[in-house]
A and B are shown apart, each in its own frame.
Chain A
Amino acid sequence: MLASFIAQRLLQLIPVLIGISVLTFLMLHLVPGDPVSIFAGDKPLTEERAAVLRHELGLDRPLWVQYFDYASHVVRGDLGRALRNQRPVLDSIIEVLPGTVQLTLAALTLAVLTGVTAGVVAALAHGTWLDTAAMAFAILGVSMPVFYSSLLMILLFSFTLGWLPATGQGGIERLIMPALALGFISSALLARLVRSGMLEVLSQEYVVTARAKGLARRVVILRHALKNALIPVITMIGLQLGALLGGAVVTETIFSRPGVGRLAVDAILSRDFPLVQGTVLFGATAYVLVNLAIDALYTLVDPRIRYS
Chain B
Amino acid sequence: MQEQSLSHPETAGRDVRTGPSPGRYTLRRLLRSRSAIVGGVLLVAIALTAILAPIISPYNPIKTNQRVPLESPSPGHLMGTDRFGRDIFTRVLWGGRISLLVGLVSVGIAAFTGVTLGLVAGYYGGRTDTLIMRFVDILLAFPGILLALAVIATLGSNLRNLMIAVGIAAIPDYVRIMRGTVLSLKEREFVLAARVVGCRDLSIIFKHIFPNTMAPLTVLATLRIAGAIITGATLSFLGLGIQPPTPEWGNMLAEGRGFLEHAWWVALFPGLAIMGAVFAINLLGDGLRDVLDPRLRL
A-to-B contact residues, CB < 8 Å: 15-16, 19-20, 23-24, 27, 30-32, 139-140, 142-148, 151-152, 154-155, 159, 241-243, 245-247, 249-250, 253-254, 264-265, 267-269, 273, 276, 280, 283-285, 287-288
Contacts A30-B155, A139-B283, A148-B271 given; does A280 touch B142 at CB 8 Å: yes
State the Cβ distance, B167 to closest chain A Cβ, in Å.
Answer: 16
Listed by A's residue number, 24 A-B pairs whose Cβ atoms lie within 8 Å are A16-B134, A16-B137, A16-B141, A19-B138, A20-B138, A20-B142, A23-B150, A24-B150, A31-B154, A142-B282, A145-B233, A145-B275, A147-B253, A148-B275, A155-B260, A155-B264, A245-B143, A245-B146, A249-B145, A265-B240, A267-B153, A276-B150, A280-B149, A283-B146
B267 interface residue (CB < 8 Å to A): yes
Q: Which residue of A lies closest to B238 (CB)?
A: A265
For B142, the closest partner residue in chain A by CB is A284
**Quick check: A159 and B260 within 8 Å, CB to CB?**
yes
- Which residues on the A side are within 8 Å of B257 (C-beta)? 151, 254
B210 within 8 A of A: no
Task: Decide yes or no whether B156 CB sits under 8 A from chain A.
Answer: yes
**Is B152 close to A, CB under 8 A?**
yes
Bound CA–CA A142/B239 (angstroms):
23
The residue in chain B whose Cβ has the minimal distance to the Cβ of A286 is B143
Q: How far is the CA of A145 from the CA of B234 in the complex (A)?
A: 8
Listed in ascending order, the chain B residues whose CB lies under 8 Å from chain A are: 134-135, 137-138, 141-146, 149-150, 152-156, 226, 230, 233-234, 237-240, 250, 253, 256-257, 260-261, 264, 267, 271, 274-275, 278-279, 282-283
CA distance A268 to B239 in the complex (A): 10
B149 touches A147 (CB 8 A): no
Q: A20-B141, A245-B146 are in contact. Are A143 and B239 (CB under 8 A)?
A: no
Q: Contact check, B146 vs A246: say whether CB atoms are below 8 A apart.
A: yes
Question: Across the interface, do A246 and B275 meet the contact criterion of CB distance under 8 Å?
Answer: no
Q: Which of B146, B156, B234, B240 contacts A147 (CB 8 A)?
A: B234
Take A148-B274, A268-B149 as given contacts and tell me if A243 and B144 are in contact as well, using a CB distance cutoff of 8 Å.
yes
Chain B residues lying within 8 Å of A24, measured Cβ to Cβ, are 150
Known: A147-B250, A148-B271, A151-B260. 20 other contacts (CB 8 A): A16-B137, A23-B138, A142-B282, A144-B275, A145-B233, A145-B271, A145-B275, A159-B260, A242-B144, A246-B146, A250-B145, A250-B238, A253-B238, A265-B239, A269-B239, A276-B153, A284-B143, A284-B146, A287-B142, A287-B146
Q: Name A28's closest neighbour in chain B (CB-CB).
A: B154
A249 touching B237 in the complex, CB below 8 Å, given contacts A143-B279, A159-B260: no
Give the nearest-CB partner of B134 in chain A. Answer: A15
- B138–A148 touching, CB < 8 Å: no
Query: In the complex, what residue of chain B is closest to A154 when comparing beta carbons?
Result: B260
Alpha-carbon gap, A245 to B134, bound state (A): 23
Given the known interface contacts A19-B134, A27-B154, A268-B149, the answer about A250 and B234 at a Cβ–Cβ threshold of 8 Å is yes
Quick one: which of A19, A27, A267, A268 contacts B135, CB cutoff 8 A? A19
Contact residues in A for B233 (Cβ distance below 8 Å): 145, 147
Within the complex, what minimum Cβ distance (angstroms) separates B155 from chain A?
A: 7
> Known contacts A19-B138, A30-B154, A250-B237: does B278 contact A143 (CB below 8 Å)?
yes
Query: Which A-B residue pairs are the 6 nearest by beta carbons?
Result: A19-B138, A242-B143, A246-B144, A246-B145, A143-B279, A148-B271
Assuming A27-B154, A142-B282, is B271 touching A151 (CB within 8 A)?
yes
Q: Is the CB of B282 within 8 A of A139?
A: yes
Q: Please give the distance in Å from B79's CB to the nearest CB on chain A.
A: 15
